[in-house]
Structure 1
Amino acid sequence: MGAVLHTPYTRWTDDDGRGRRPVFTAVWVRLDALYARPSGTPGHEVAAGLDVTGEVPGRLHGWLSSVKGEWLGVVDFEMPYADGRRERLAVADQLVPAQALRPDRTRRSVAEQEPGVGDDRRGS
């Protein structure tokens, strides 16, 4: 995914003199928490819509603070479609509230890796 949003909390590494590269931390993005439907709101299903339930793997590369002191992670992740198609919607530099993130201890933090982020955990 190209350039990343630089924040005061972006970690950097020097790749043997080839330049600074951001360090990505593996996280799980809780889509249910990020895209919560207000209680009592009527809904209807759109078969070809995005599946905003469960968790998907993401790459955290910075933090920003809101005026109220809430922390927002800067995250790249891919969202699945509800109809089961293989393609996903890739989103970059999304501001995700800290409570919608959790560490992924199965993947390691690395400097600028390929965006293939692995399997998702929808419905967990």
Structure 2
Amino acid sequence: MLNTPFTVWEGDEVHGRRPVLTGVGVSLDRLFAREPGAARRVIATGLDLTGEVRGRLHGRIPSVEGDWLGVVNYEIGYADGRRDKLSLVDQLLPFHVLRERE
């Protein structure tokens, strides 16, 4: 697990420490924005990089320019609707693609 200086922990040394998880929505449309006018070719077995997926924020860290990045675990589904998903762990995502969820 990626541990940043801004990771918030719960628990203790006796019972174990674990990062505090915050539910977030990850905007795949914003994260994987396509270049305007880019040619589109549909691949039915490809990843569906549209909409919003659920994620778990467990850390944060600033960039040199003052933008915040979240450390997030999330999954992306496939366009063909299969049950399996691509699991992404400890991904640095810009905060502008995240939305806090209940």
TM-score (norm 2): 0.94
Match in the other structure for 1:112: none
Deviations 1:37-62 (A, max 9, x none): 01111121111000000000000001
Q: Percent of aligned positions with the same letter in both sequences?
A: 54
Stretch deviating more after TM superposition (14-23 or 93-102): 14-23
Mapped partners of 2:12, 2:79: distance in 1: 39
| Aligned ranges 1:33-72 → 2 under 5 Å | 33-72=30-69
Q: Which has the higher strand share?
A: 2
Name the SS of the counterpart of 1:93 in structure 2: strand
How far apart in 1 are the matches of 2:7 and 2:90? 12
Q: How many residues align?
A: 102
- Opposite residue 83 of structure 2, the aligned amino acid is R
Listed as ranges, the matches of 1:1-124 within 5 Å are 4-14=1-11, 17-105=14-102
Q: CA deviation at 1:17?
A: 2.8
Instruction: Please give the secondary structure, in 1, of the residue aligned with 2:29.
Output: helix
Distance 2:15 2:95 in 1: 32
Q: Distance in 2 between matches of 1:92 and 1:52?
A: 17
Distance between the aligned counterparts of 2:71 and 2:13, measured in 1?
26
Q: Which runs of 5+ in 1 are unaligned?
A: 106-124
Please give the per-residue CA displacement for 1:3-53, whole angstroms capped at 9, x wherever unaligned.
Answer: x10001111011583121111111000100111001111121111000000
CA RMSD of aligned residues (A): 1.2
- For normalisation by structure 1, the TM-score amounts to 0.78
Amino acid at match of 1:56: V
